[in-house]
Amino acid sequence: MLVIVAPGQGAQTPGFLSPWLEDPVFASRLDWLSTVAGLDLADYGTNADAETIRDTRIAQPLLVATGLVAALDLFPHPADAFARIGAVAGHSVGELSAAAGARVITAEQAMVLVRERGAAMATASALTPTGMTAVLGGDREEVLAALTLHGLTAANDNGPGQIVAAGTLEQLAAFADAPPAKARLIALSVAGAFHTSHMQSAVSHLAGLARSVSTHDPRTPVISNRDGQIIHDGGDVIARIVGQIASPVRWDLCMETMLDLGVTGILEMPPAGTLTGIAKRAMKGVETFALKSPDQLDDARAFADKHGEASQIETSPTWRMVVSPGKGTFHRAAEAADAGLLPPGAAIGEVASTRDSTVVKALHGGSVVEWLVEDGDLVSPGQPLLRLHPEGVS
């Protein structure tokens, strides 16, 4: 199974776009997205220094546009790609790249949202001096306890031995003076405490804009940063991306879901390296491919061919299938068990794991064609549970 991932802010480096822009088709597509974003992304990706592209207003549109245009180079015929990609996921702002790649939103909608996201987060960062620090190593429970003691947030949980702390500069300084045992601290070059309550004003701004964004249900399973769940409703994908601005990124749970899905290969879109590096440490036995330059495209396509397989969603239209959001035991709702017709939003049951329990709803409703699982069955992320026939469709 192939999973495509998109990196978040911090993956960009000076000049990383130079080799890509030698292709006139790539350059023209980037120019179009630059027009939507109102930024000269080609100039920023080739001539700007590290401090300039560190600016949230620039870094976030630059990352999303690069991922989207590179995806078209990698998969010139997107419809063919949907049948081979098992799931997509993005780290932080990379979720917008993943959402557009799964056809939840258009590339243009993604660029408007990321433009406003970057600007709003930069404004929020200016209100209070805040920052982020990577915590490498140490005992996980001791690290989390130390963060709580200093009033910090575990803004990114990137798996074993890598947590990113975020908060005010004073809190981070106090934490640095008394670090957890066997932990190494690295101050990150970011503008603020992303994915914490300090970003709440940015959430409010983007939420207002998102209400006007038309969405489609994903063509490929989307793994959410919030909790690692498979999201099968386009509106929920966008709502989660908006809320994630002020909530921790649980990349550890995203990787857990990938393993539950049976991933064999992870391909990271440019500027690649960060997420495949994490996967190499946390997902033993899973092959990785970091797409960094266009001269790797043929090898990347071969990697996709090797690991790609038919998608469960693609073989059955998404509008008539209800799927599991995660791994656990499925408990069928009594009121849905014998129903022949389900109204939109009807609860069909819940998926319970050792961590939590999630209600599963038939968002679009319809006539029950067949149950694909029994009450008490163990289910995996994205597994079809119920086949529905839309009401009024012959």
Is pLDDT at 313 greater than 60 in this prediction?
no
Number of Cβ atoms within 10 Å of the Cβ of 200: 12
Is pLDDT at 25 greater than 60 in this prediction?
yes
For the stretch 193-252, pLDDT in tens is: 999 999 999 999 999 999 999 999 998 999 999 999 999 899 999 999 999 999 999 999
Mean pLDDT of 45-67: 96
Task: Output the pLDDT for position 146.
Answer: 96
Q: Is 331 a catalytic residue?
A: no
Cβ distance 68 to 110 under 8 Å? yes
CATH node for 317-389: 2.40.50.100
Task: Residue 289: name the closest of 308, 265, 258 by CA.
Answer: 265
From CA 66, how far away is CA 173, in angstroms rounded? Answer: 35
Is pLDDT at 150 greater than 70 in this prediction?
yes
Say whether pTM exceeds 0.75: yes
Domain extents in the chain: 2-124+197-312, 127-187, 317-389
Distances (CA, A) of 78 to 26, 40, 68: 16, 26, 11
Task: Output the pLDDT for position 394.
Answer: 41
From CA 27, how far away is CA 253, in angstroms rounded? Answer: 36
Task: Residue 324: name the closest of 296, 283, 353, 302 by CA.
Answer: 353
SS3 136: strand
Is pLDDT at 392 greater than 80 in this prediction?
no
Task: Output the pLDDT for position 389.
Answer: 86
Catalytic residue among 150, 195, 198, 205: 195
Task: Output the pLDDT for position 311.
Answer: 58
Cβ distance 248 to 155 under 8 Å? yes
From CA 52, how far away is CA 364, in angstroms rounded? Answer: 45
What percentage of the chain carries pLDDT values higher than 90? 88
Which residue has 């994490």 as its token pair? 278
| Domain topology for 127-187 | Alpha-Beta Plaits (3.30.70)
What percentage of the chain carries pLDDT values higher than 70? 96
Specify the pairing of strand 85-90 against strand 2-6.
parallel
The superfamily CATH assigns to domain 2-124+197-312 is Malonyl-Coenzyme A Acyl Carrier Protein, domain 2 (3.40.366.10)
For the stretch 333-361, pLDDT in tens is: 999 988 999 999 999 999 999 989 999 99
Q: Is 92 a catalytic residue?
A: yes
Catalytic residue among 92, 224, 247, 324: 92
From CA 366, how far away is CA 130, in angstroms rounded? Answer: 49
Tell me which DSSP letter residue 143 carries.
H
Cβ distance 320 to 366 under 8 Å? yes
